[in-house]
Amino acid sequence: MYSWIWRHLPGPVASKAVLALLLVAAVAALLLFVVFPWVEPRLPFNDVTVD
Amino acid sequence: MDDRTQPWDRVPELGGPPPRSRPPVPGASAPSAAEQPAADDATGDVVTERDRSWQSWGEAWSDDDGHEDWDDDAPRGRGFWRSAALGVGELLVTAGMVLLLFVVYEVYVTDFLTAQKQDELATELREQWADEPADARSLTQVELGDAFGVLRIPRLGEDYTRVILEGTEEKQLAQGPGHYVDSALPGEQGNLALAGHRVGKGSPFLELDTMRPGDPIVVETADSWFVYRMLGDPATGDVDADPSGIPGRQIVAPTDVQVVSPTPNAAASAAPTGAYLTLTTCHPRYSARQRMIIHARLDGGAISKAEFPDGPDALYES
């Protein structure tokens, strides 16, 4: 998977590296600001109330 | 030498049969006959080289004990399993990284997001309090999700302030401590019950276990301060020694709803015996197996903010 991505990134190694870092940052941002906030309320370890 | 002659040799051969096994023709023209062996060599080289590369490729996939009898499909099949294993491995590593990132998110990033939200709420609340005419300020009705007060607990830090919101759904708790709907409002008879996160989301109640009997818990509303004090014996620090019989701190099961009853630990329908404040959070840290509960009782009455703009003396005791 990762080698496939690396092969398909355009340009020389430097540009591949920059693009790869950008990809990682984009995925991390997607997880942190979209996926995790959505997943979190569905997990059981955040209950602080008695009910 | 061969390399240099190769293109020249091959040009006349185009379209013709492969020269490889053609025996030398005695009657052929001199140049052609003279060049023939060179052409043979060149073609032969190319073929051998390709053969060798296929061979070594095959060897790479063959067993250690030197199986050479793989048919054409065998190396391809092995390659499939190899890339499948590689893919699964990469997926597992990726899943591990995502889980790590989730922990970072829970413990640090939510703190950051909640701090931002708290700042916004505090600014809004101050503006709202400043704009409203004094007689319109009443806490008789608070809408779900509204910020309506500020919690201060000097034991948890001199500058410990948290805007409290109405409601204990995750939506409110992600922004700050939440007020149990239908529990008492600040200063009222009954039990002012607040829930807050222990770890993450600003960790408002992370260090509730450091609180000692007699510690002030101050709630600020539009026009008043209310000072609650943690139950127990302030002299000995015994949380279970309160004359009322209500413990200052207790660990209970998540289903134990009586801790937020109008009189803590009494029946939910029983009439209140005083003005209490109850904080609930999860226990132990990083777990939701139990709940840690802090009980406090109102000390005195409402303190006018007009008289004490900087807060009651209880805020500056220590």
Q: Let me know whether B148 and B287 are in one domain.
A: yes
Contact check, Cβ <8 Å, A49/B168 = yes
Contacts of B87 in chain A (CB under 8 A): 1
Q: Is the pLDDT of residue A35 over 70?
A: yes
- The 10 Å Cβ neighbour count of residue B147 is 22
- Indicate the burial class of B274 (C-beta count within 10 angstroms; 0-12, 13-18, 19 or more): middle
pLDDT digits (tens, 9 = 90+) for B118-146: 999 999 999 888 887 655 556 567 888 88
The pLDDT assigned to B313 comes to: 84
Whether residue B115 is found in the same domain as residue B53: no
Do B222 and B147 lie in one domain? The reply is yes
DSSP 8-state code for residue B277: E
How many structural domains compose chain A? 1
Active-site residue flag, B282: yes
Contact across the interface for B105 and A32, Cβ inside 8 Å: yes
**B304 pLDDT exceeds 50?**
yes
Print burial letters for B91-104: b (CB count within 10 Å at least 16), e (below 16): eeeeeeeeeebbee
Q: Supply the range of the domain harboring residue A31.
A: 2-40
Question: Would residue B197 show up in a list of annotated catalytic residues for this protein?
Answer: yes
User: Is residue B279 in a domain?
Assistant: yes
Nearest to B221 by CA among B259, B249, B181, B179: B179
Per-residue pLDDT of B76-120, as tens digits, reads 567 889 889 999 999 999 999 999 999 899 888 888 889 999 999
Closest in B170, B180, B195 to A41, CB measured: B170
Residue finishing a domain among B26, B41, B61: B61
B59 — pLDDT class (breaks 50, 70, 90) = very low
Distance, CA of B144 to CA of B163 (rounded, Å)? 14
> Which string of b and e fits B61-89 if b means at least 16 CB within 10 Å?
ebeeeeeeebeeeebeebeeeeeeeeeee
Annotated active-site residue in B152, B198, B249, B282:
B282
Query: Above 60 in pLDDT, residue B238?
Result: yes
The model carries a pTM of 0.70
What ipTM is given for this predicted complex? 0.88
List of long-range contacts for A24-30, beta carbons under 8 Å, 24+ apart: A28/B101
Q: Are residues B27 and B129 in the same domain?
A: no
Q: Both B108 and B178 in a single domain?
A: yes
Give pLDDT tens digits for B175-209: 999 999 989 999 889 999 999 998 888 888 888 89
Token pair, residue B171, equals 């939506």
pLDDT of residue B8: 53
Look up the CATH number of the domain holding residue B143: 2.40.260.10
Say yes or no: B45 and B167 in one domain. no
State the nearest Cα–Cα gap between B259 and chain A, in angstroms: 8
Residue B220 structural domain: 104-316
Q: Does A49 touch chain B (CB under 8 A)?
A: yes
